[in-house]
Structure 1
């Protein structure tokens, strides 16, 4: 099977030979296609423009592999913003790609959302090689652990050799340092052979600052009236916004059709400014759903404002399957560490109560924007959410990497407590997510890194010093150093140590328990019927209820002291043991050892 997404942007290989090139450059007075020939001067071909600013040129001898750029107004050479490949990055030429050269196997149609166990990874630091091909070789171990889906941090082409990927400037071209488009497709195909879904993190809220030439020939991409944290917002609702909307909507469809991704995670949608009658997010979901009939394709949001109106428990056009649940992470982090600065500020008042509410309601706070520095403008309780529409995690790239020194949570808590956050993320009815290395308890940091040069590099360094320089600013990791990038790579040699093997075995056992006891029951969850009670200072008893009268119970001690607990907090009297941590089978019910958790499933006992 061959997959190609036809779109109005970029290149089209003609059936009779040759290639048609199209560029939206409404501010250009002249545009020429510049074919790279290996000599000093490119081969120039004039393009014709229509009234909407579309420039088009067909070159009869062009073919797959042809290198090209656009020359704007006789002087500026720019890459194709819809390039499928830029082998030298955004400052080099684009490359014509024939998507039909890759042969897909036809047996895979995906997995339903409730089976998802996500694993977020950064391609560049996941392996020593930092490539799609090397990542494909590591997938067996993830599948064996019980993970069912990998989620790639953004792979769209960005300036420099290394970076997180959230400053991409060519949204259709995989980053050249990771490999070719076919290398990425082989990674997806290998994952599917192993029963793994593949999600891609996409950035539709801004372009990066390095290698972005759009201001020179298509300033209509940017709003005249709205701002974002990265400068002018993208133009999704002003004059000429139809083409801008199409550019990003086509991008979403491109990834799920041409690369057969099983899902997309949309970054920071709270920063998308759109007052249109039909919001960009609704239209994007409708288009993706319409383009993927017969497959399980999932859409996930990151929304710092905690808006939940776009979520739906079943796949629906215009709606999204889930959203990252920062509230769970933040409440858990404050309980485990006591930190209350920046965006943990809102969780410092009764964090155990907030964690308990997160277990049962999903989100803790409802749609409220954040102030500069992290605290919310308004704090109000959120209604109970369908728990399967939320993604719970103890770590992710932001919550680790945005720390001054990138510590993982296990570095910040007592050793005997280190495993609990991971288990709590894995064994609730919400969809769980691990951060790469977490499956074996990696201790290496994940730092902020970006291969910027010149003034931009100095500005980023200065910004980090301002943000984290309250202590000894001279020992902060240099965000633009290759050493910082290398330090963020989990050491695979450490993964073979006895402690790492024991950690991985417990994660595997938890995921076996999830697959047996929790996943099959997800469709029967009763929204709004779950409950939780505080037990002494550091205990929580949680009850999740199902349509058939069964109840999943969690007995949790997040403290260093043993707890003796009254019977009313113990759930079903007769219950099947699901999983336990630091709570041996012979431990009497009502006795909760320090830093322990025990899950059971049984009939709810009513008085």
Structure 2
């Protein structure tokens, strides 16, 4: 089986040769630089410049010369073997033969995500290296891998959020076919593959759109990275198509099972139909016989994107639940600076609201935001509309020293939080190596070696970043790892040998046990119709959350207080999990400090 996504941009292999197309509405003339020779492109209506070259082929190197001067890569390049400033390469996507023709995906409720940075997830730091670890991930109980952004970024190392060529999987990790082999192998093992995409900005180096498509951006909208992308002004049609096609391209040509959209609160669009809605509608229409999962990161807590129709997502499948993380983190660590101030006042109550209703903030004022209201009502949504986590790339890497939660909380507290994450009906996400409590940090790193001024700006900016997080900077600014050094990147690579050593082996065994319980006891329940959920605090520090489904109920009781708590747990349900020192007899349970239990009661 072969898969090709047809699009109006870039280099397309046709029966007549290779068609090159560039949207350059503010350029007077565009020439194709192909294997060292130049040919003028034909200027057409709407800012398009096109040319079909019979002798061009897969492997040909090409670029575009703008107005007789600057030579730029193709913004829709499928491959950039020599990084963001050099020539693009013609790729024949039909050359790869897929072996997963029967794969249509897995139901969302079965998802257990492992968020992975390809460059640091394995010693090799490549798609091929990661392919060799897929069986280990599957055997741990993970059902889906989520790859940090792959779009070509400057240099050889980056988190991926500085991508500038959205259609080219980064060459530092391998070739396009290497990525396809990774996806193919994952599907053979029953694993889904998600890819992060960044549609709110371009990275600071290698974006040449301003040179020939100034209307790709607009000063009417300002983002943390400068002028906003023009989703709603004149010339917006081509801009919107660029991102709509990009989303479908990853889902179709690379057979990804889902996308995670970065920081959509920074996608500013006043159109009658927001670009997020158009992407979701067109992606689902293009792939009607597939399980397609579209996940948002949205600091604004806008429940409007997550609505259901007959239990199926109308637009987007779920959202990363930062509120849930912040509540857990505050409870686990006691940290209360920065945005944690919004959760430190009533962490148990806020955790309970997140578990039962999704968002802790559903329109209430945020102290961290100087009293600005945040969020929309979310209690009507099923728990599967939210992705929960105890850590992710942001929450680790945006600390000064890249510490994981295992460095900040006791093993006893983490044991309860781990069970709370993996057995609650939200969709759980583990950050790479979390299944065995990896000890390696995940630091912030970049490679702007060709731009020393930019490297210096990043280095100094990193040192200033922690002014509002005093507890993160206790080591002193001079000790903060330099993000531009290769050593910082190398320190972030996972040590897979830890998995077989204590205490990591014990954590891995417990993670496997919890995920087996999840698939056997929790997932079947979440596949039935969600009715309602509630959260209560029978006494300070004691949390009681109940989720009701058509197929039965699930209950989480946890004692975060310092003293033991007696709890009525009833006699009709069964305890599917409890902390080792919980005493449970005769419909009552005694929960010591930082212990809990999950109780399931099937419908009769």
Q: Which interval holds the TM-score relative to the shorter structure?
A: over 0.9
Q: Contact 1:281–1:318 at 8 Å: present in 2 too?
A: no
1:596 aligns with 2:600: no
Q: What number of residue pairs does the alignment pair up?
A: 592
**1:39 alignment counterpart:** none
Q: Contact 2:436–2:505 at 8 Å: present in 1 too?
A: yes
**1:6 alignment counterpart:** 6
CA 381–475 in structure 1, closer or farther in 2 if over 3 Å, else same: same
1:460 Cα shift? 1.1
Within a 5 Å distance, the mapping from 1:271-420 to structure 2 comes to 271-313=266-308, 319-366=315-362, 377-378=372-373, 382-384=377-379, 385-420=381-416
**1:65 alignment counterpart:** 59
Distance 1:415 1:498 in 2: 13
Q: Quick check: 468-477 or 322-331, which moved more?
A: 468-477
Aligned residue among 237, 262, 270 for 1:267: 262
CA 379–33 in structure 1, closer or farther in 2 if over 3 Å, else same: closer
Q: Aligned-residue CA RMSD in angstroms? A: 2.0
1:502 Cα shift? 0.8
Aligned residue among 485, 496, 502 for 1:498: 502
Aligned residue among 552, 577, 580 for 1:579: 577
Following TM superposition, the consecutive aligned residue runs of length 4 or more in structure 1 with deviations greater than 4 angstroms are 314-318, 367-371, 373-376, 584-588
Q: Contact 2:550–2:603 at 8 Å: present in 1 too?
A: no
Distance 1:481 1:95 in 2: 29
**2:103 alignment counterpart:** 108
1:158 Cα shift? 0.6
**1:556 alignment counterpart:** 558
Q: Contact 1:35–1:67 at 8 Å: present in 2 too?
A: yes
Q: Contact 1:345–1:374 at 8 Å: present in 2 too?
A: no
Q: Deviations over 1:184-209 (max 9, x none)?
A: 00000000000001011001111111
Q: Deviations over 1:528-550 (max 9, x none)?
A: x32222254432122221224x3
1:433 aligns with 2:429: yes
- Which runs of 5 or more residues in structure 1 are unaligned? 37-41
Aligned residue among 460, 463, 477 for 2:461: 463
Q: Deviations over 1:520-568 (max 9, x none)?
A: 11133534x32222254432122221224x3212121235x4513142x
Distance 2:71 2:231 in 1: 26
1:488 Cα shift? 1.2
TM-score (norm 1): 0.94
Distance 1:429 1:88 in 2: 45
Q: Deviations over 1:340-383 (max 9, x none)?
A: 21121211211111111111111111268989x76662257834
1:262 Cα shift? 0.4
Q: Contact 2:260–2:295 at 8 Å: present in 1 too?
A: yes
Distance 1:501 1:577 in 2: 25
**1:165 alignment counterpart:** 160
The DSSP-based 3-state class of the residue aligned with 2:172 is helix
The DSSP-based 3-state class of the residue aligned with 1:110 is coil
Distance 1:426 1:317 in 2: 22
1:580 Cα shift? 2.2
1:109 Cα shift? 0.9
Distance 1:376 1:344 in 2: 14
Q: Deviations over 1:427-486 (max 9, x none)?
A: 111111111010000121111111123111111111111122554111011111111111
1:45 aligns with 2:47: no
Distance 2:216 2:444 in 1: 28
Distance 2:365 2:301 in 1: 8
1:513 Cα shift? 0.5
- Which runs of 5 or more residues in structure 2 are unaligned? none
Q: Contact 1:289–1:316 at 8 Å: present in 2 too?
A: no
Q: Contact 2:402–2:444 at 8 Å: present in 1 too?
A: yes
The DSSP-based 3-state class of the residue aligned with 1:421 is helix
Q: Contact 1:86–1:95 at 8 Å: present in 2 too?
A: yes
Distance 1:586 1:573 in 2: 11
